[in-house]
């Protein structure tokens, strides 16, 4: 590990380790090819199999003042999962998309809002990146799944969104994954509300032909 990586690996001294600060840290790490490649190895894997991620994430998953005190397992897994997902972003997304610290409503309201997974899928439909039937089916299926299944499906889903130019708010996703086992119904309801608030602002049939072609291209 280089001296710069070693310094970056230490979390802030403040007790507040907000998801946004973690995302900023991971995005910074990913500027180094070696760190990005090692973080990417954790895609879809449980923490116990993410051997290459520990060097970067252990300082964030243990209490600074009490190293023996560790995060809740669900929260720790969420950190590892999001770190791997950020590292696996397509090159175009790394070059053009900021680390998800808020975005404007796709309907054009102009009010900054945080974008959860439902909102990202809604934007994908609104912008013709995904067909409404595909996005809704994915959202309903994901909303019923266990944490294991959600983690397993996110690499392909986020890559499809990012490849189509749809941003993913990693900090919001981190929070949602951390609480999934304990508040799944509440999170799923919010995702559905976000999706239909955005995707339902324009008749989907008008973009059906464009959407179908874009989806097939992204899935190749």
- 157-202 tens-digit pLDDT: 999 999 999 999 999 999 999 999 999 999 999 999 999 999 876 5
Residue 106 phi, psi dihedral angles, 5° rounding? -65, -20
Which pLDDT tens digit goes with each residue over 126-155?
A: 999 999 999 999 999 999 999 999 999 999
Claim: this prediction has a pTM higher than 0.85: no
- In this predicted structure, the answer to whether residue 8 has a pLDDT above a threshold of 60 is no
With a cut of 80, say whether residue 40 has pLDDT above it.
yes
Backbone angles phi, psi at 186, to 5 degrees: -65, -45
For residue 113, give the H/E element and its range: strand 112-113
Q: Is pLDDT at 5 greater than 50 in this prediction?
A: no
d(CA 183, CA 169): 19
Q: What is the DSSP letter of 12?
A: P
Residue 106 pLDDT exceeds 50: no
What does 28-54 look like in DSSP terms, one character per residue?
Answer: HHTTSHHHHHHHHTTTT--GGG-TTTH
The answer to whether 198 and 50 have CB atoms below 8 angstroms apart is: no
Whether the pLDDT of residue 16 is over 60: the answer is: no
Confidence category of residue 18, pLDDT binned at 50, 70, 90: confident
Residue 112 has pLDDT above 60, yes or no: no
pLDDT band at 220 (very low <50, low <70, confident <90, very high): very low
| Residue predicted with more confidence, 118 or 69 | 118
Q: What is the mean pLDDT of the chain?
A: 81
Q: What is the mean pLDDT of residues 37-63?
A: 92
């Amino acid at each position: 590990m280089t001296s710069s990586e070693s310094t970056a690996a230490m979390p802030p001294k403040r007790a507040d380790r907000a998801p946004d600060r973690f995302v900023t840290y991971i995005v910074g790490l990913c500027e180094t090819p070696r760190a990005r490649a090692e973080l990417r190895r954790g895609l879809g894997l449980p923490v116990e199999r993410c051997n290459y991620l520990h060097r970067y994430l252990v300082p964030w998953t243990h209490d600074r003042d009490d190293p023996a005190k560790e995060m809740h397992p669900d929260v720790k897994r969420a950190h590892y999962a999001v770190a791997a997902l950020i590292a696996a972003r397509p090159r175009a997304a790394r070059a053009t998309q900021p680390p998800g610290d808020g975005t404007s409503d796709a309907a054009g309201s102009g009010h900054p809002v945080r974008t959860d997974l439902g909102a990202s899928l809604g934007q994908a439909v609104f912008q013709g990146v995904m067909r409404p039937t595909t996005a809704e089916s994915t959202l309903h299926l994901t909303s019923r799944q266990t944490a294991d299944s959600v983690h397993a499906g996110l690499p392909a889903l986020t890559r499809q969104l990012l490849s189509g130019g749809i941003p993913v708010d990693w900090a919001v996703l981190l929070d949602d994954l951390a609480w999934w086992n304990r508040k799944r119904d509440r999170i799923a309801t919010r995702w559905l509300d976000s999706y239909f608030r955005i995707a339902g602002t324009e008749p989907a049939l008008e973009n059906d032909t464009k959407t179908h072609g874009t989806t097939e291209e992204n899935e190749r």
